Structure 1
């Protein structure tokens, strides 16, 4: 009996000792950043058009625009649902249309609006550095990165490279960095949507060509209009 009681005592002792040495599970502390910013990379895909076009001007095919960059978010209210942002980006714009740019025998540039049957292909493209400045509203919280947004602002652009290519069936005219192109462009834009997907619209206020550029004696006042989608990535 003594042996049995001794065994029971030892089992009870070791069981109590084991229970006392078990350490509680330590869960990691998740810090919530209540001072969050919506610093974001952006990427847009647009269909490119023109406004204030000459008579008989037309576009064909899909004129593609691509842009991307980074925006620095600066909240201006306590709940951080209102902010201003500024950033830097790059853009590529491509246009298929019937405003032709060619050269005469002396090398002078000639502008015309031709029917599509009068040439094989014609396009204009440009590359620019962009400076977007925008006012932001969103219903975001520090607990969620999915929210509704309306962002509107002004984009300033510097065209550092441009080219036009015209194939009239007999000769191909390649004109690079046309001096008649206004290198500085600007205009308002708006982006609105939910989470990553947002619609985007930009309207250029500055003419594509400088004031000295004419077509049949009339000034060319064409301005750019881009519509498509913009994606924001944290």
Structure 2
């Protein structure tokens, strides 16, 4: 059995954050597909057995389960001694960007993408407009930051990059955002991440969950 098992699905950018870390570290891991669109994470049994929060990803390792992508990335960085902080200042800076990502970057972007292309029903244009206004603000902050340095916390990639990259590699048709055209510094950062040995896009790293009928 592989050393690591990741409950995930390819459409989940939060799952991709962890899958990317596992791939870049060349770990022996197994994806366990979560049947998200057909309600698996709302099932009492799934919540009792996998994650009471009703969310993916969930990482199994050494007899324990870990949830929340930021927690999992932190655990892996400490366990492996890779892509983590070099000192306390970097530790706090990584945490700062992961918290920003969870609250303002991934949250709005992921919700917009779900409503835009994955929910299976027409989205309210006013809601999409509201989300885009928040997304554009968050993207602008990150684009400006990356104009000054190659990665989120200086000159090398860390788990802060993997956290913010979670939803940055999905097709334009899914996201509604052409980041190469609209945010050149984010796009250049994406290209630097793509160049890391072991990188793969989300649909190549994890099985996709079937969409609801």
TM-score of the aligned structures, taking structure 1 as reference length: 0.24
Give 1 or 2 for the bigger CA radius of gyration.
Answer: 1
More strand by share: 1
TM-score of the aligned structures, taking structure 2 as reference length: 0.25
If asked which structure has higher relative contact order (CA below 8 Å, sep 6+), I would say: 2
More helix by share: 2
